[in-house]
Amino acid sequence: MMDSSVSRRAFAKPAMPARIMISAMLLCAACGLQAHPRSVGTGGHPAAGAGHTSESGGKPSGGTTETGGSSGNATGGGGQSTANGGQTTAGGGADSGGQTVSSGSGGQTSASGGQSAASGGQTTGSGGQSARSGGTTGNGGQTSGSGGVTSSGGKTGGAGGGATGGSSSSSSTASGAGVTINGKFVPKEKAVVFIHFGHSNMRGQATTPTSLKPYFYNTVDGLWSFKGSFTLAKEPTAPEGSYTYAGPGMAILQSAKAALASGSDVQFISVGFGIGSKTTVDYQKSGNYYPIFMGWAGQLKGNVTFGAIVVMLGLTDGEHLASNLIPGFPTRMAQIISDIRADLGEPNLPVLFCDYEMGATGTFLPTGTIGTQMIPLIHQLPTLVSKLVLVPTDNLEMQDDHHFDMQGHKDWAARVISLMQSNNWFPWK
């Protein structure tokens, strides 16, 4: 019995240390839980401002988002994105069904089409999220900043990202070229030039109605004339000698500007030249005048967008050329347009050509000798020159027997821009 009692005491002595050890282990475990409060059961608990979720033991900020709950932004078909450094995994966070892989804090989405955009897009900003504060990307777009939304092929940048660069046409991208006007750089896509030339109607003979003088002679921000340097446009835009009458140049610019959306920063530029009584023979490349206005246009080549060629010729061929030269009018005019396009490297540059002055009277009456010769020849031009339309002259007010007055020029110029719009030649907004 003595031995048995001693034996029981021998086995009883270690019992106290075991309880102490178990208590210590529990205490350590409790301390460990306090040190990592984000590692919480199923469903996860995102830290403030982190935008990521954890499932079955989530990770601290910068951890990977698992399949399941999300407090970030949805991208594609199932994957979630994180606000500050989280990457998407599982569920295929790409529109095309690809999966994304994580690469630590601030990583990019990648692998097998796994971008947050459908085709080729990367995500930037804080930690590689597809768009902060709810932004999404479209096909091929890149996003950054806050809330940017892109359309097909576009990029966004900054707060609420809008399309960068490019002309008013949505598919364009900025070329990096441009011109400096009045100390401000204007991108090529937003510097739009009208080349306009012709006889005395282009030079201008208008002096009335006087109520329209501000329209023609007051400068307007965003409307410019270029003859080796930029100046704010006003009549005469195609001057001859000391003449100061009004022609169509300023009205073309005014009508173009009126077609823009409010607040647009597109700049319209006149390169104009007009000489009374001159013909297609005088305006040939081998003649005296082509090198003048094309010399100005050539200085801008590559740094502006040429919008259109606007021409007033025809009546003077019938008035001033020998009878054997008159039938050659359409061929000469077609060659002039071909030379301009070739010299500018713009084979598809639209042409707006003034129809015969249907309000003319006396010698220039449309049913007179000059009119009956020239009208059929003028009407051949659309069949000889691509992207050429005739601008009607019916019911326009006249200054005299064959020149438009200011109202006539204003209405005719409005027809120029309207025809460009209806032919989809006016993409600027």
**130 & 204 share domain:** no
**321 & 366 share domain:** yes
**284 & 246 share domain:** yes
- The 10s digit of each residue's pLDDT in 325-359 is 999 999 999 999 999 999 999 999 999 999 999 99
**320 & 383 share domain:** yes
**365 & 224 share domain:** yes
Domain extent for 115:
104-134+145-159
Contacts of 187-191 with CB under 8 Å at 24 or more apart are 188/302, 188/303, 188/304, 188/305, 189/165, 189/305, 190/265, 190/266, 190/267, 190/305, 190/428, 191/267, 191/269, 191/300, 191/303, 191/304, 191/305
Tell me the C-alpha distance between 277 and 201, whole Å: 9
- The 10s digit of each residue's pLDDT in 1-47 is 334 333 333 334 444 444 434 344 433 333 343 434 333 333 333 33
Residue 309 belongs to some domain of the structure: yes
In terms of pLDDT, which residue wins out, 297 or 156? 297
**Six-digit token string for 356:** 């015969």
Tell me the C-alpha distance between 412 and 423, whole Å: 17
- Confidence class of residue 139 from pLDDT cuts 50, 70 and 90? very low
Tell me the C-alpha distance between 59 and 156, whole Å: 31
pLDDT at residue number 349: 98
> What is the average per-residue pLDDT within 307-324?
98
**116 & 254 share domain:** no
Residue 96 belongs to some domain of the structure: no
Q: Among 121-130, 235-244, 260-269, whose mean pLDDT is lowest?
A: 121-130
Residue 298 belongs to some domain of the structure: yes
**266 & 405 share domain:** yes
- The 10s digit of each residue's pLDDT in 185-216 is 999 999 999 999 999 999 999 999 999 999 99
> What is the average per-residue pLDDT within 129-152?
34
Other C-beta atoms lying within 10 Å of the C-beta of residue 49? 8
pLDDT above 90 (res 360): yes
Tell me the C-alpha distance between 90 and 169, whole Å: 39
**237 & 208 share domain:** yes
Task: With CA atoms as reference, report the closest residue to 346 among 358, 356, 338, 354.
Answer: 338
**151 & 214 share domain:** no
pLDDT above 70 (res 423): yes
**249 & 324 share domain:** yes
- Confidence class of residue 173 from pLDDT cuts 50, 70 and 90? low
pLDDT above 90 (res 70): no
pLDDT above 90 (res 68): no
Tell me the C-alpha distance between 312 and 374, whole Å: 13
Tell me the C-alpha distance between 360 and 65, whole Å: 78
Residue 93 belongs to some domain of the structure: no
Domain count, the chain: 2
pLDDT above 60 (res 306): yes
Residue 223 belongs to some domain of the structure: yes
> What is the average per-residue pLDDT within 46-60?
37
Residue 91 belongs to some domain of the structure: no
Task: Give the predicted TM-score (pTM) of the model.
Answer: 0.62
pLDDT at residue number 138: 35
Report the share of the chain in percent with pLDDT over 90: 59
- The 10s digit of each residue's pLDDT in 208-264 is 999 999 999 999 999 999 999 999 999 999 999 999 999 999 999 999 999 999 999
Residue 164 belongs to some domain of the structure: no
DSSP type of residue 46: P
**204 & 130 share domain:** no
pLDDT at residue number 331: 98
Residue 60 belongs to some domain of the structure: no
Contact 311, 351 (CB under 8 A): yes
**252 & 375 share domain:** yes
Report the share of the chain in percent with pLDDT over 70: 60
DSSP type of residue 237: S
> What is the average per-residue pLDDT within 400-422?
98
> What is the average per-residue pLDDT within 280-305?
98
Q: What is the mean pLDDT of the chain?
A: 73
In which element (H, E) is residue 35 found? Answer: helix 15-35
User: Looking at 91, 124, 159, which one is the last position of a domain?
Assistant: 159
- Confidence class of residue 174 from pLDDT cuts 50, 70 and 90? confident
Residue 402's CATH number: 3.40.50.1110
